[in-house]
Amino acid sequence: MTGAKALIKMLENEGTTVVFGYPGAANAPIYDELSRSSIRHILPRGEQAAAHEASGFALASGRTGVCMATSGPGATNLVTGIANAYSDSVPIVAITGQVPTGMIGRDVFQEVDITGAVAPFCKHSYLLKSARDLPQVVKNAFHIASTGRKGPVLIDIPIDVLNEEFDFEQPKPVNIRGYKPTVKGNNLQIRRVREALSKAKAPLIIAGGGVGYAGANAVLAKFAEKYKIPVVTTLMGINHTALCGDLLVGMIGTHGVSAANIAVKRCDLLLVVGARLGDRAYTTVHSQNSDAVVVHIDIDPAEIGKNIGTQIPVVGDVKVVLEQILKKDIDCDIASNERWLKSLTELRNQKREYSDKKTFINPRLAMKVLSELTGGDAIVATEVGQNQIWAANNYKLSPKGGFITSGGLGAMGFGLPAAIGAKVALPQKTVVAIEGDGSFQMSMGELATIVQWNIPVKMMLFNNSRLGMVRELQKTTYKSNYFAVELDGSPDFIKLAGAYGIEGARISSNAELKDAIEKMLKGDTPYLLELVVDSEEGTL
């Protein structure tokens, strides 16, 4: 068979049911084969969206997302999506066509060194030289993407390799000598964690994205519940902590809630679970903290000690490690933990006033209404900016819902494609894209994708006529010297959606919120709800 055919066969073997991709000359043999395969192909309106869609698919379903592009510009358009997947440890496999092997290095038409370009932010990459290597490489690529600390893997395939006839042989079980992630926590360290917990008077869990990747949502909640340990999250941890219920204090960091940040400052034992604690989450906010003993549980040894000093490092799969800790009862001061928890819940529950401006929507209230009307069961995929933080801090997620966002990279243009990917993965779920007017315009070509492939995502567009978060930065840090943050020239978004045949409505007063959101949620059809927000509205 040909390399291209073998590729499709291997994708099927790996359980791939859908590919987000864009054709061109160098990957044409793949498309020829794909046309005869049972794999669903979704054509977005740009390769960047393809990569984000693959990520949205992976984040919603836990399965590895697959995106494809042709050589040269197709491949470079994937780059932001690959970098995003790397920052947030999203398992995706990106497959690019490449110019013929014999032409590589001669700067021929549509040649770029894509494996070189993505090296800094790709978990691993392959440049295939022979079709015979293809089956094993594809198998290894999926393994690498979806195990250990997950992440993007790129396979670059020259067109002559795609056309090469060879005798297909099933790949061997994966065995990569340089890649053996540690799964089980070291027993000595586990014992030290138990000891630290038994001494603590005010322990705190910081939960990150790693909790979800390990499938540890339930065991984390069980652990926290058993010893009454309050839980705060990073932006990436929001998606995995709904089961923690009343133990949940909120998100930490520059854009977190104060109760959560105060918790970090006051705790005496910090259990960092599957979080790398990037600068926005921790270091810039908590740099002077503290005397707390730090336990850091992570599958990636390189994260331990990188951003935060750690007394008790535990390398391993978060789920396995938490189960190890739970194996023996710990003699905790539960009464003290409960007092500490109570002090935090009081802070958290301080009544929130929703300011009511007559001609503008309060975005926090909008997110609250969305939570109520969906029961938190909807998957929310956000853009980047104020809209993202409004969603993060005000959408009350249920264990059945989801919160998908671009955390580490903060890539505008992520939200709509990510919502599309999520809806493709879980068609029975309600998926709501939370949009900013700036971010939306980076990916709004995807309205066509929604229509062409019948992917009925709901869109809530917070229109503050500004690059709101940057404007706020100019306000606080540059003496209100507003420059290049006005989005004049934006289209009438409702008319735009209409041009694609997508229904929508625009509202500008809080009184309309409930009916409008109800209407948006009704039926399994795409819908754009535009919410007019004051450009002065703050992020927090």
Partner 1 sequence: MSKRILSVLTENRAGVLSRISGLFSRRGFNIDSLAVGTTEDETVSRMTIVVNGDDYIIEQVSKQLNKLIDVIKVKTLDDSDIVSRELALIKVAANSETRSSIIQIVDIFRAKIIDVSHETLTIEMTGSAEKHKALFDLLEPFGIKEVVKTGMISIQRGTNYINK
Ligand X SMILES: Cc1ncc(C[n+]2csc(CCOP(=O)(O)OP(=O)(O)O)c2C)c(N)n1
Binding stretches for Mg ion (CB under 5 A): 436-438, 464, 468
**532 contributes a contact to ligand X by CB under 6 A:** no
Residue span binding ligand X (CB under 6 A) among the ranges 17-25, 90-98, 383-391, 476-484: 383-391
Residue 219, token pair as written in the block: 């065991």
Euclidean distance between CA atoms 4 and 165, whole angstroms: 9
**462 contributes a contact to ligand X by CB under 6 A:** yes
Q: Return the number of the residue (116 or 501) whose C-beta is nearest partner 1.
A: 116
Shortest distance (Å) from residue 467 CB to Mg ion: 6
Contact with partner 1 (CB under 8 A): which of 80, 115, 239, 393?
115
Neighbours of 77 (CB within 10 A): 18
**120 contributes a contact to partner 1 by CB under 8 A:** yes
CB 70 within 8 A of CB 137: no
The single-letter DSSP state of residue 172 is P
Neighbours of 174 (CB within 10 A): 14
Shortest distance (Å) from residue 511 CB to partner 1: 53
Identify the CA nearest to 235 among candidates 390, 18, 444, 112.
390
Encoded one letter per residue, x for contact with ligand X by CB under 6 A and - for no contact, window 330-369 reads ----------------------------------------
Q: Return the number of the residue (96 or 388) whose C-beta is nearest Mg ion.
A: 388
Contact with partner 1 (CB under 8 A): which of 31, 166, 179, 453?
179
**77 contributes a contact to ligand X by CB under 6 A:** no
Counting every residue written for the chain, the total comes to 540
Shortest distance (Å) from residue 151 CB to partner 1: 10
Task: Give which of partner 1, ligand X, Mg ion, none residue 306 binds (C-beta under 5 to 8 Å, depending on kind).
Answer: partner 1
Report the run of H or E that residue 449 belongs to, with start and end: helix 446-452
Q: Return the number of the residue (257 or 273) whose C-beta is nearest ligand X.
A: 257
Euclidean distance between CA atoms 268 and 271, whole angstroms: 10
Task: Give which of ligand X, partner 1, Mg ion, none residue 383 binds (C-beta under 5 to 8 Å, depending on kind).
Answer: ligand X
**300 contributes a contact to partner 1 by CB under 8 A:** yes
Residue span binding partner 1 (CB under 8 A) among the ranges 27-35, 80-88, 298-306, 448-456: 298-306
The C-alpha angle with vertex 63 and arms to 76 and 305, in degrees rounded to 5, equals: 75
Residue 522, token pair as written in the block: 């009704």
Q: Is 429 exposed, middle or buried (0-12, 13-18, 19+ CB in 10 A)?
A: middle
Q: Where are the alpha helices (DSSP H) in 167-317?
A: 187-199, 209-213, 217-227, 258-266, 284-286
Residues 427-446 that bind ligand X (CB under 6 A): 436-439
Shortest distance (Å) from residue 403 CB to ligand X: 16
Euclidean distance between CA atoms 503 and 519, whole angstroms: 10
Neighbours of 73 (CB within 10 A): 14
**178 contributes a contact to partner 1 by CB under 8 A:** yes
Q: Where are the alpha helices (DSSP H) in 14-147?
A: 28-34, 47-61, 73-77, 79-87, 114-118, 134-146
Interaction site with partner 1 (CB under 8 A): 115-116, 119-120, 123-124, 127, 144, 176-179, 300-302, 305-306
Interaction site with ligand X (CB under 6 A): 383-387, 410-413, 436-439, 462, 464, 466-470
